[in-house]
Amino acid sequence: MITTKTMTLAANYSDLPVRAGYAVNINDIEIALFKVTNGRVYAIENHSPHPKGGVLTEGLVSGEYVYCPVYDWKISLVDGKVQAPDTGQVKTFQVEVEGDNVYIII
Ligand code: FES
């Protein structure tokens, strides 16, 4: 099966706060963008994998991790993996930054 990926303009790089979440909705998917201290931008699904589904843009960012605001699970912004002792994974999306444009590839 051939799947087509689309590059969608999600935000302006200069509008993204450092170490805080920025929510966007693309194709009815709620995505959390995070600009970390080193300037990289990550995009992950905006819900914790926990049944309570905490909103990750409300979480605290430390390095390349976000802490879910509800139960404090530590989630990697790089691969979406929940760190031990908790388990689970959040979907991640590829990000391209071109000038001031931040694109998400879905
Ligand atoms: S809602 Fe449970 S860890 Fe986020």
- Give mean pLDDT, residues 46-67: 94
Tell me which CATH code domain 19-105 carries: 2.102.10.10
State the chain's mean pLDDT as an integer: 95
Ligand 1 site residues, Cβ closer than 6 angstroms: 48, 50, 52-54, 68, 70-71, 73
Beta strands in the chain (DSSP E): 7-12, 21-26, 29-35, 41-45, 60-62, 65-67, 74-76, 92-98, 101-105
By C-alpha distance, which of 4, 15, 35 is closest to 44? 35
Ligand 1 pocket, mutate which of 45, 47, 48, 87 (most atoms under 8 A from CB): 48
Tens of pLDDT, residues 73-84 = 999 999 999 999
pLDDT at 3 over 80: no
Mean pLDDT, residues 85-94? 96
pLDDT at 63 over 80: yes
